Amino acid sequence: AQSVTQLGSHVSVSEGALVLLRCNYSSSVPPYLFWYVQYPNQGLQLLLKYTSAATLVKGINGFEAEFKKSETSFHLTKPSAHMSDAAEYFCAVSDQGTGFQKLVFGTGTRLLVSP
């Protein structure tokens, strides 16, 4: 069975500081990995995805994540936080392949950005 663990339910940073949100996965097969962002009272928006090509993945809004198989990690980073980055972030895992897939989500990390 696949699972995702997000370390830290809340992360606080100052505007302009580095953002680091942690995600570790467990999967018996090669995974695809995703980061989604959720703003208050909204659905999920895909930030970036790892699909076994490059291990360093760049996404929208200046975010990027690195797949590290040896550490079973897929941490999300952004060099400089902006107030508009304040939101809930979810890491998710699925099987590779083109068959029917479901996403298994972590419990989320709320990012707080202070001026």
The contact set with other proteins (CB under 8 A) reads: 32, 34, 36, 41-46, 49, 90, 92, 94-96, 98-108
By C-beta, is 40 or 115 nearer to other proteins?
40
d(CA 87, CA 112): 7
**Residue 41 vs 70, nearer CB to other proteins:** 41
Nearest approach in angstroms of CB 60 to other proteins is 13
Nearer to other proteins, 55 or 80 (CB): 55
Torsion sign across C-alpha atoms 12, 108, 78, 65: positive
Buried b (16+ CB within 10 A) or exposed e, 74-90: bbbebeebeeebbbbbb
